[in-house]
Chain A
Amino acid sequence: MPDALPHILSTLLAGAVTVAQVASGAALIAFSLGLLLALATVFTTWPAVRVAIGAYIEWMRNVPALAHLFLLYFGLASVGVRFSPKAAAIVGLGLVGAAVLCDVFAAGIRALHVGQREAGLAVGLTPFQTLRCIVLPQMFRLTLPSIGNYTSQLIKDTSIASAIAAPEIMFYARNLVTSTFQTPLIYASAIVLYASIVFPVAWMFARMERRLGVGR
């Protein structure tokens, strides 16, 4: 049984690479689209835009991520749009994340005093400069705890990608079970591996929060 451990760990570590790829790809979509949607919903003067973004957020947040992945991977394939498992996972988790982060960012911007923006404009900054130098840095500081929670959640959610055969940790774990039958050892290793990815990330965010004096 101890002989099996190095084999199990090296196989699972190959899955950790996919976890990193899917998580960073999804995070890229989630942060950029989430920020864009948040700015649109806070600053738009068109009620229709706000309603459309609201509908998108509610759909994404009230349907399981697994259903989104199945829709993208199996559903769209049936009408000719084919994603690789990894791409479907990145797009699916990214779109869900954009809805989560849009809520977070919008709440962060709304929590700032109007005077921050008005003062920025009054001293001659352009609206874009005001956003980039005054509003967004404060918004990020305020929302850092939520961003940290989201990031941990995203890393854990990459495990769902194994359901559409993306070769990540749980996918390899299930393959290993059928080839070595060391079931408890394999799943225990997988759990420990996930925890050893999530803990440092959570710790990094906690450290960043302390540094920036969040909740001061």
Chain B
Amino acid sequence: MNEFFQAYPTYWPEWGPRLASAARVTAEISFFGFLLALVLAAGLVAMNRSRLPALRMASGAVVEFLRAVPLLALLLALYFGLPAVGLTLSGYWAGILGLGLQGAAYVAEVFRGGLDSVHKGQREAALASGMTPFQTFTAVVLPQALRVMLPPLVNCYVSLLKDSSLCALIATDELMLAARQISSEYFLPLHIFLLVGLIYFAIAFPLSMFSRLLGRKLSRGRRALGST
């Protein structure tokens, strides 16, 4: 057992810098992917609440479609398929786009659930007391929806972070690809994949805990209204 762990101090000077720069790429693609997901999801939800039935249907169809397609298929289609129609993306940007598109479908569900959780009387009361629709949304509806939305949003980010590992398969220089390269150079797959698993865990686990804590804090003393 001791022999097993001796490999880590021996090879750390060589592995460490490579894994660190790969971890930075993982952090970047998951962060920008999530940012894109937030923006796209806001658009999808706005469409979903539109007065035009066509927009509502389009929004629903896009969400359903994105939820039914594996991320890997999306990534490969963006990376290898788009050049055929004249648009070439690097693995880095195809990864961000793929993660953003798929993430948008999940984030849109969270947004929708959060907004639906605010009783419609809140909005009516705000409008009746003379607030503009914009004020009503930003000062009354959104703050209440955020309490419900924040914990699942953190979970969405954790999922997206884990899913970013699939970008290794479209040659993005992120953690999983670095792990595969190191494992084929040093022939220590068990060591390296265990280590990379731990790196993901070290980022994802505190976030998951934070989401749970947030959920408990934000729902404290809150009586559900009309949500039985």
Interface residue ranges of A159-174 to B (CB < 8 Å): 159-160, 162-163, 169-170, 173-174
Instruction: Tell whether A115 is near chain B: CB-to-CB under 8 Å.
Output: no
Select the stretch in A29-37, A71-79, A116-124, A137-145 that faces chain B: A71-79
Residues B81 and A58 in contact, CB atoms below 8 Å apart: no
A188 to B68, CA, bound (A): 13
Partner of A70, one of B68, B81, B179, B205: B179
The interface size of chain A toward B, counting residues with CB under 8 Å, comes to: 42
A177 to B188, CA, bound (A): 31
Give the chain A neighbours of B80 by CB distance below 8 A. Answer: 177, 183, 187
Q: B204: which A residues are within 8 A, CB to CB?
A: 62-63
Give the tally of cross-chain contacts (CB within 8 A): 125
A194 near B73 with CB under 8 A, answer: yes
Interface residues of A in 166-210 (CB under 8 A from B): 169-170, 173-174, 177, 183-184, 187-188, 190-191, 194-195, 198-199, 202
Given contacts A78-B189, A79-B190, A195-B68, contact A188 B76 (CB under 8 A): no
Contact indicator B205/A62 (Cβ below 8 Å): yes
Report the bound CA distance from A68 to B197 in whole Å: 8
Contacts of B72 in A (CB 8 A): 159-160, 162-163, 170
When the two chains form their complex, are residues A187 and B81 in contact, meaning their CB atoms are under 8 A apart?
yes
How many residues on chain B are close to A (CB under 8 Å)?
42
B66-90, CB < 8 A from A: 67-74, 76-77, 80-85
Binding site for A on B (CB under 8 A): 64-65, 67-74, 76-77, 80-85, 158, 162-163, 165-166, 168-169, 176, 179-180, 183, 187-190, 193-194, 196-197, 200-201, 204-205, 208
Q: List 22 A-B contacts (CB under 8 A).
A: A61-B208, A63-B197, A64-B162, A66-B166, A67-B165, A67-B179, A67-B197, A67-B200, A71-B190, A74-B189, A75-B189, A78-B187, A78-B188, A159-B72, A163-B168, A184-B85, A187-B81, A188-B81, A191-B69, A194-B68, A194-B69, A198-B68
